[in-house]
Amino acid sequence: MSKLNILVVDDARFIRERVTSMVREAFPDFNVIAVENGMHARTAMQQKQYDLILCDWEMPEMSGLEVLQWTRAQASYQSTPFLMVTSRGEREYVLKAIQSGVNDYLGKPFTREQLVQKMVKALDKRQQLSPAQQARATSMLEAEKQKQPTAAVPARGGVGKPKGLAQLRNSQQTFRCAIKDLNLREVKVVIKNEGCFPQVLEQVVVDIEQLSGDSVARLNGFVTLVQATEQKLEAAYVDVRVSFMDDDPDKLAHLSKYIASVR
C-alpha cells in the first residue's frame, strides 16, 4: 500500500523538478516519475499503473485537459486521483476540468504546504496513505505554517516610464505592477511598497498586459531579485525581477512581438 506511483506532467523543467522534489520530501517512499508533455504522460500510463497524477494544463501538442480526458477514457484510470496544476484560474477552465473528471485543482504558483494538502486529501479518500505517511505529512504541514517570511533586500533604484503593466501572483496574493524591463528570459517590475513582497526563489506567475489593458502573455517564473528602489526604509516602491520558465513557442512568439512594440 505504501509504495505508491506518482506521475508529474509539466513542460517547464523547473516546475517538474520542483514538484518532484516536493513530493519526495513529503513522501520519501513514493515512486515519482516526471515527464515533459501529455504524449509522454500517456505513454507512461500505458507502461505502468499510477496512483496519482499531477498534471499541468497549458502544454504544447497535448494539453492537460486532453490528458485528463484520455485518462478517464481508460478503464484502469477512471477513478485514479487527477490533480490539475495550472496558472489558469478562470471559472470556465475550472468547469471544463470538473466536467472532464478532475479530482482537484491546484493553482500556480503554489507552496509545498498547498501541494501536500491536495495530495493527502486525494489519497486519503481512497485510503491509500499509511498512518506513518499521514503523520509525516501532518508534521511537514505544521512546520510550513510556522515558517516566517524574510524581508526584502534594500538597494537603490528608481521608477521610470513603464513598458507595460502586469500582475505578479504568488501563492498568497496578486501584486499590480509596472514593467521596467523585459526580454524573453526575464522581466523586471516595480510594485508599491505595502509591507508585503514576493520572496527570492519563490515561484510566481506573471500576467503581462499592454497599457491598453489587453492581455499579452501569462508566464511561469521564479523570483531572482527583490530590492527597494530607494536607500531608505520607507521606500515607496520595490523592484522585483522574475526569470521565466516557460518554453511554450506560442507564448514566446506573443511575448517577442510585444517586446518589439515597446522598444
> pLDDT tens digits, residue range 50-86?
999 999 988 888 999 999 999 999 999 999 999 998 8
What pLDDT is stored for residue 105 in this prediction?
A: 85
What pLDDT is attached to residue 89? 62
Whether the pLDDT of residue 209 is over 90: the answer is: no
Sheet holding 52-56, edge to edge: 31-35, 5-9, 52-56, 82-86, 104-107
Candidate ranges 67-76, 125-134, 199-208; pick with highest mean pLDDT: 67-76
Beta bridge partners of 205: 169, 220
Per-residue pLDDT tens over the stretch 1-12? 458 999 999 998
Locus of grid cell 505578479:
168
Q: Is 165-262 in the same CATH topology as 5-146?
A: no
Look at residue 94 in the predicted model and tell me its pLDDT.
75
The C-alpha cell 517586446 sits at 259
pLDDT at 146 over 70: no
pLDDT(151) > 50? no
Per-residue pLDDT tens digits for 95-114: 888 888 999 888 887 888 88
Give the CA distances from residue 38 to residues 66, 133, 201, in Å, rounded to whole numbers and listed in that order.
Answer: 8, 29, 27
Assigned fold of 165-262: Thrombin, subunit H (2.40.10)
pLDDT (0 to 100) of residue 155: 39
* Distance (Å, whole) CA 124 – CA 116: 12
CATH topology of domain 5-146: Rossmann fold (3.40.50)
CB 148 within 8 A of CB 164: no
Asked if residues 197 and 119 have their Cβ atoms less than 8 Å apart, the reply is no
The answer to whether 146 and 127 have CB atoms below 8 angstroms apart is no
**Whether the predicted pLDDT of 49 surpasses 50:** yes
pLDDT confidence bin for 36, thresholds 50/70/90: very high
Question: Of 76-85, 137-146, 212-221, which gets the smallest average pLDDT?
Answer: 137-146
Q: Identify the pLDDT of residue 149.
A: 45
Print the SS3 string covering 24-77: HHHCCCCEEEEECCHHHHHHHHHHCCCCEEEEECCCCCCCHHHHHHHHHCCHHH
CB neighbourhood size of 8 (10 A)? 25
d(Cα 172, Cα 239) in Å, to the nearest integer?
A: 19
Q: How confident is the model at residue 152 (pLDDT cuts 50, 70, 90)?
A: very low
Domains in the chain: boundaries? 5-146, 165-262
Mean pLDDT of the chain: 83
